[in-house]
Amino acid sequence: MSQAADAAALGGIRLYQRYLSPHKGFRCACAALHGGESCSAAVSRIIREDGLRAGRPRIRAQFQKCREAHNTLLMTSPMGGPGRVQGGVQGVFCCGPIPIPFRCGG
């Protein structure tokens, strides 16, 4: 992959953060559970640091961490299942219905 692919990925993340994320109705599970940056911010940082190709292992690890956070939040839900969970977080795994090019655990 090239700098063009890196730039396209970063552009896509910026579009997601600006236009989709504020309206999706839930937070990144990883950020909700652990605080700090969301997966989109973390992946953007990884691409800037390593590039898309070289950063793939770290990106996969980030999504795995988010999947684990999602599972933890579901297990600690006062409702005992999907839906409203700890801290008023609502929804599912940070990527929701958006297909991502990495396996997200499980």
**Does 46 fall in a domain?**
yes
Enclosing domain of residue 7: 3-88
98: its two tokens: 């958006």
What DSSP assignment string belongs to 11-47? HHHHHIIIIIGGGSSS--HHHHHH-S--HHHHHHHHH
Total domains, the chain: 1
Q: Which of 62, 65, 82 is nearest to 74 (CA)?
A: 82
| pLDDT given at position 87 | 45
**Does 96 fall in a domain?**
no
**Does 33 fall in a domain?**
yes
pLDDT, tens digit (0-9, with 9 covering 90-100), for 22-39 = 887 778 888 888 989 999
pLDDT, tens digit (0-9, with 9 covering 90-100), for 50-92 = 999 999 999 999 999 999 998 888 887 665 554 444 444 444 4
Look at the pTM and tell me if it is higher than 0.85.
no
**Does 38 fall in a domain?**
yes
**Does 98 fall in a domain?**
no
**Does 40 fall in a domain?**
yes
Rounded to whole angstroms, how far apart are CA atoms 87 and 33?
8
**Does 105 fall in a domain?**
no
